[in-house]
Structure 1
Amino acid sequence: MKIHTTNYTNTLIAVADDCPASRGEIPPQKGDAKSVATLQFEMLSQKPYHYTSDDVLFQVFADRNDLTESERPAARQQFFSKGQPCFRASPLTKRYGWGVHSDENGRIALLGCETEEYEKLSSDESLQVVKAMKSSR
């Protein structure tokens, strides 16, 4: 079975051109259930450069589907047996003003689009810079 990945290395996923946020915003929580954006934000803000994109996307899927620890290995293989949307399609990069930087090991961190670090990385010629997907056509 072919395994797909959403991981990037030495890449900055810049905020979408139509992102309404002018700075990195904490995604609001509505009701009891945490949104995808909230779960992603919590993981990445607490441990920058600890997780890969695949780690975060699968963990959010597993948490939202109440998978047990014993179910996770097989579920992860099944999850990545077909292509998954990467962080270019994340609400963090499309709506909430966060860039996602992937280091040389594929570990990721959030950067508010208003920060000096974001500006520095977005003009770094040694990095691949890709834009998040627009919300509108």
Structure 2
Amino acid sequence: MSYKNTFITVSEDSTVTSAIVPVPRNNKPTIASIQYDLIKNNPYKYTQEDVQFKTYLIKEQIESNNLNELREQYFTKPKACFRASPLVKKYGWGIHYDDHGKIALFDVNSETYNQFLNLDNITLLKGMRSKRK
């Protein structure tokens, strides 16, 4: 599933008031740190699927000449959308999808984040909660 002209807000139960940059743990990149680096360093370059697949390749340290085939295999099973990403649940980042489904990150405490909340021509979706009510 890919969104277009959509903004995913930080999860309701997130405790952060300002975005946090996720860092590797035990000298290994985490899913959040990989996603953050890919999106933050390349705003509106990648789709959600691009980031998910690149994250998988980096996390699993996969190098292959058959990336198209590998990508097809990777997406044979459904993947959670970025409403479930640790970036929106735990680290305080909103994710904007442009008209082409390309994504960028915005600090929950930024002016741009707040502007997205007040636009009429955009779909707003809440990040998924970390815990049940």
TM-score category (smaller protein): over 0.9
Q: Is the 8 A contact 1:44 1:109 kept in 2?
A: yes
1:49: how far off?
A: 0.6
Q: Aligned partners of 2:78 and 2:25: how far apart in 1?
A: 29
Deviation per CA, 1:85-110: give whole Å up to 9, x if none: 11101000000000000000100000
Moved more, 96-105 or 64-73: 64-73
Deviation per CA, 1:31-89: give whole Å up to 9, x if none: 11100000001111111111100000110011112222313211110111221011101
1:50 and 2:38 matched: no
Aligned to 1:31: 26
**Pairing 1:123-134 to 2, within 5 Å after superposition:** 123-134=118-129
Q: Give the 4+ runs in structure 1 shifted more than 2 A.
A: none
Moved more, 62-71 or 114-123: 62-71
Aligned to 2:115: 120
Q: Is the 8 A contact 2:83 2:128 kept in 1?
A: yes
**Pairing 1:16-27 to 2, within 5 Å after superposition:** 16-27=11-22
TM-align CA RMSD: 1.0
Unaligned runs of 5+ in 2: none
**Pairing 1:106-117 to 2, within 5 Å after superposition:** 106-117=101-112
1:87 and 2:82 matched: yes
Q: Aligned partners of 2:131 and 2:112: how far apart in 1?
A: 27
1:20 partner letter:
T
1:28: how far off?
A: 2.7
Number of residue equivalences: 132
1:19: how far off?
A: 0.7
1:78 and 2:104 matched: no
Q: Paired residue for 2:62, among 57, 67, 74? A: 67
Q: Aligned partners of 1:80 and 1:123: how far apart in 2?
A: 34
1:101 and 2:96 matched: yes
